[in-house]
Amino acid sequence: MKYSPTDIARQFLFIREAGQNTGQRVEAIQKWSGGSKGDSWCCEFATLVLDICFQGASPVPRLQACQDVYDLAKKNGWLTDTPVKDDLFLYVNADDHAHHIGIVTADGGTPGIAGNTSEDGTSSNGDRVAEHALTTNPALIKFVHFPRG
């Protein structure tokens, strides 16, 4: 990994939607990751950042669904209870289905930075890239420590 995901993600803090999951920059993120205009784009943002950090060779491919990242992490044994800066966080529901993703920006697991979130982090379908505390029930947050290569 050539660059820190936290450092790269912070370069996108100015991103705002122009409409629900739309706008020139949001749509560029969606397209980069193989998605479509109007997609929920938190996963597309996180995997775009990793694609940049790994210069196209990320162990987490460009994906559109948080659940796909969660399944990949479970399959490869990447889940951790001791997150460090640059790991991924996933919000899961009571049925263990992942619905939001971002990048851990400090050792210990909080705060984090995500796309398609709100300024305070209470929405997993917000209008921006934002860095904030992780705001859901801690039991419903999973952390992914992917290979740094």
Say which CATH number the domain at 15 has. Answer: 3.90.1720
* Gap between the Cα atoms of 137 and 122, Å rounded: 11
CA angle in degrees (0–180, nearest 5) for 86-1-85: 15
Helix (H) or strand (E) holding 36: none
Count the neighbouring beta carbons within 10 Å of the beta carbon of residue 115: 28
- Domain around 43: 5-144
Is the full-model pTM beyond 0.85?
A: yes
Q: Is residue 121 part of a domain?
A: yes
- Closest CA relative to residue 104, chosen from 55, 140, 142, 54: 142
29 pLDDT tier (thresholds 50, 70, 90): very high
Residue 120's pLDDT is what? Answer: 92
* Gap between the Cα atoms of 142 and 61, Å rounded: 19
Q: Is residue 111 part of a domain?
A: yes
Q: Is residue 62 part of a domain?
A: yes
Please, which residues have CB within 8 angstroms of residue 31's CB and are 6 or more apart in sequence?
Answer: none
How many independent structural domains does the chain possess? 1
Q: Is residue 149 part of a domain?
A: no
Residue 123's pLDDT is what? Answer: 87
